[in-house]
């Protein structure tokens, strides 16, 4: 609760290979080879060469479709396609270099580790039969799937090895707190409240009456649990500023402590009952109360910086030649009025791929694991 405001104001993205890997491996699994196939009538041909291996146009288009679907992009125009293709190609490069790095470091993956991932994949399906049917329909052979899992686990270990060196000192936490406490850790005057959500006004009124009659918040709500949409346990109230209460639930301000008030209509099918528990004065929250949240934030920020540099270095060393620059050519966007508005990603998108392979294609996400789609 303490860092809720901070979390809504600061957005940082940390690569979470282990989670995303398990959820997306089947989605990203593509056919091995396929270098001579067409893609919707399009003639297939090599668009780049990576360490002597051809990267086919079909692989780029497949990766593009997968990326759009995973990101749930609703309005992709023809003007967006070159930048998206460029991102796919750079992710292929990155995945290829990660695999090379895993081999260079002698990283091994055990059968048990692969078994564990296969089990987690099965858990994404309602039944084992549904899982088997999916593999059969998709033409995925278990041997090839396990090999793909092993490769990605090895790459994951490379990345985790880089992050293991990230440490955070107590002085960094204290410094962040001192610089930001007035902005992020000043809690306004307000109240700790218990809140229950009900689907109908009459039901909400009945709940409020039961709570007040019994003098037992949890007991009354447990009795009507099948009708209660959501509620805070009595010993886990939430803080709401007085100003916010006055704007939407003014009656609560004048209510007695430990008295259920309502119902208040939030939406046509959402009514809340509120119990005021404790008045809290305005204060700056102490360091010991927020230090863990600060530590989590700063560690994630540091890890993101390490990730960016590591990916940058991997792509910078790649031996890649682009044969079809036009496929990845992004139209030059007019320079913004303020130079501060210009981003590094825009700069990268406007340069030919052969000139900027050192730029990481996915600073905030995982590689697309398209190396299996590169054909000799």
H/E stretch holding 107 reads none
Contact 30, 373 (CB under 8 A): yes
In SS3 terms, 170-219 reads as: HHHHHHHHHHHHHHHCEECCEEEEEEEEECCHHHHHHHHHHHHHHCCHHH
Phi then psi for residue 375, to 5 deg, are -115, 145
Which residues does residue 278 pair with via DSSP β-bridges, in sequence order?
Answer: 192
CATH number belonging to the domain at 189-281, selected among 3.30.1490.20, 3.10.50.40, 1.10.1130.10, 3.40.50.720:
3.10.50.40
Give, for 352, the enclosing helix (H) or strand (E). none
Superfamily name and number for 4-167+290-373: Porin chaperone SurA, peptide-binding domain (1.10.4030.10)
Query: What span, in angstroms and rounded, lies between the C-alpha atoms of 112 and 57?
Result: 36
- The set of residues, in sequence order, having a beta carbon less than 8 Å from that of 163 and lying 6+ positions away, is 303, 306, 307
Which tokens belong to 324?
A: 């079809």
Dist CA 68 CA 80 (whole Å): 11
What does the alpha-carbon distance between residue 341 and residue 320 come to, in Å, rounded to a whole number?
Answer: 31
Residue ranges per structural domain of the chain: 4-167+290-373, 189-281
Round to whole Å and give the CA distance between 225 and 358: 57
Q: Which residues pair with 193 in a beta bridge?
A: 238, 276
Q: How many CB atoms lie within 10 A of CB 266?
A: 12
**pLDDT at position 112:** 95
pLDDT in tens, the chain (376 residues): 334 433 333 222 222 333 334 334 433 433 323 444 445 556 889 999 999 999 999 988 888 888 888 777 778 888 888 888 888 888 889 889 999 999 999 999 999 999 999 998 888 889 989 988 888 888 888 898 899 889 889 988 998 888 888 889 999 999 999 999 998 898 899 999 999 998 888 888 888 998 999 888 888 887 766 678 888 899 999 999 998 888 888 888 889 999 999 889 888 888 999 999 999 999 999 999 899 999 999 999 999 899 889 888 988 899 999 999 988 887 655 554 444 433 433 343 334 443 443 333 333 334 333 333 443 3
183: nearest Cα among 301, 375, 8, 358: 8
**CA gyration radius for the chain?**
27
- How confident is the model at residue 56, as a pLDDT? 92
User: Is 166 strand, coil or helix?
Assistant: coil
Residues 6+ apart with CB under 8 A from 353: 48, 86, 89, 90, 320, 322, 325, 328
User: Phi and psi (nearest 5°) for 239?
Assistant: -90, 135
In the chain the beta strands, taken as DSSP E runs, fall at 46-50, 53-56, 186-187, 190-198, 230-231, 238-241, 260-267, 270-280, 283-284, 320-322
Regarding pTM above 0.75, the answer is no
User: Residues 49-53: contacts with CB within 8 Å, 24+ apart?
Assistant: 49/320, 49/321, 49/323, 50/92, 50/93, 50/96, 50/318, 50/319, 50/320, 50/374, 51/96, 51/100, 51/318, 51/319, 51/320, 53/96, 53/374, 53/375, 53/376
């Amino acid at each position: 609760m303490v860092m809720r405001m901070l979390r809504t104001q600061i957005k940082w993205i940390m690569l979470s290979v282990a989670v995303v890997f398990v959820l997306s491996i089947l989605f990203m699994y593509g056919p091995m080879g396929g270098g001579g196939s067409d893609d919707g009538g399009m003639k297939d041909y090599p668009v780049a060469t990576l360490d002597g291996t051809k990267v086919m146009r079909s692989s780029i288009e497949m990766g593009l479709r997968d990326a759009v679907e995973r990101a749930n992009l609703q309005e992709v125009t023809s003007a967006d396609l070159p930048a998206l293709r460029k991102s796919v190609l750079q992710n292929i490069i990155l995945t290829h270099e990660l695999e090379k790095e895993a081999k260079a470091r002698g990283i091994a993956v055990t059968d048990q580790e692969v078994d564990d991932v296969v089990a987690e994949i099965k858990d994404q399906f309602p039944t084992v039969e549904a899982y088997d049917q999916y593999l059969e329909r998709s033409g995925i052979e278990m041997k090839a799937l396990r090999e793909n899992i092993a490769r990605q686990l090895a790459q994951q270990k490379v990345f985790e090895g880089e992050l293991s060196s990230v440490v955070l000192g107590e002085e960094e936490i204290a410094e962040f707190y001192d610089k930001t406490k007035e902005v992020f850790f000043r809690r306004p005057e307000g109240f700790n409240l218990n809140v229950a959500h009900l689907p109908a006004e009459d039901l909400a009124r009945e709940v409020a009456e039961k709570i007040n009659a019994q003098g037992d918040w949890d007991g009354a709500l447990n009795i009507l649990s099948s009708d209660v949409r959501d509620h805070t346990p009595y010993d886990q109230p939430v803080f709401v500023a007085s100003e916010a209460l006055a704007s939407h639930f003014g009656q609560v301000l004048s209510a007695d402590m430990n008295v259920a008030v309502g119902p208040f209509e939030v939406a046509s099918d959402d009514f809340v009952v509120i119990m005021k528990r404790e008045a809290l004065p305005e204060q700056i929250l102490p360091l010991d109360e927020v230090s863990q949240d600060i530590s989590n934030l700063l560690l994630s920020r540091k890890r993101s910086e390490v990730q960016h540099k590591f990916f940058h270095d991997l792509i910078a060393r790649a031996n890649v030649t682009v044969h079809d620059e036009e496929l990845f050519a992004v139209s030059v966007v007019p320079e913004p009025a303020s130079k501060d508005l210009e981003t590094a990603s825009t700069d990268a998108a406007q340069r030919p791929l052969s000139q900027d392979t050192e730029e990481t294609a996915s600073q905030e996400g995982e590689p697309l694991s398209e190396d299996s789609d590169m054909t000799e």
